[in-house]
């Protein structure tokens, strides 16, 4: 009897771990960014990036890593929700002149992630009268093999 309970408990825990890993993979995506951009206080070069949450249980912390591994950063985010149809997986940037700042991460459902504005972005927004241009880049979801 004890062996049966242990076997059932082990199978249940392995199922929970597998589901958590699949969920983490579903939120991972890749996007080609044709311009240098800022995330927090870090300037990242143009290139192909992978975006994924760091922890399978919490989407607050996101990893943004260049596909070749040359550049990466970890950023804290806040939940944001969009009503209506779920947006395509995408990254949304604020552009002030030639300066781009990552603003939102959308993984293809109605809940996305909003990034905090850096001091530099706040200053640029202030000097331009708060007028920035929104730039959205479509992303593709990474498969479980990625």
The string of DSSP codes covering 77-97 is: EEEEE--SSPPPSEEEEEEET
Q: pTM of this prediction?
A: 0.76
Please say if the pLDDT value at position 13 is more than 90.
Answer: no
| Per-domain boundaries in the chain | 2-141
C-alpha closest to that of 61 among 79, 48, 49, 36:
79
113 phi/psi in degrees, rounded to 5: -125, 130
Give the tens place of pLDDT for each residue, 71-128. Answer: 999 999 999 998 888 778 999 999 999 999 999 999 888 889 999 999 999 999 998 8
């Amino acid at each position: 009897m004890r062996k049966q309970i242990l076997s059932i408990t082990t199978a249940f825990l392995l199922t929970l771990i597998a589901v958590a890993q699949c969920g983490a993979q579903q939120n991972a995506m890749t996007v080609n960014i044709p311009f240098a951009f800022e995330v927090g206080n870090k300037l990242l070069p143009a290139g192909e990036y992978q975006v994924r949450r760091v922890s399978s249980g919490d989407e607050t912390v996101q990893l943004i890593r260049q596909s070749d591994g040359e550049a990466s950063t970890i950023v804290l985010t806040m939940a944001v929700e969009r009503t209506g149809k779920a947006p395509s997986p995408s990254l949304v940037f604020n552009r002030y002149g030639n300066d781009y700042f990552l603003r939102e991460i959308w993984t293809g459902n109605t809940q996305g992630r909003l990034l905090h504005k850096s001091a530099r972005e706040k200053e640029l927004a202030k000097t331009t009268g708060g007028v920035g241009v929104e730039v959205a880049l479509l992303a593709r979801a990474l498969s479980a093999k990625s």
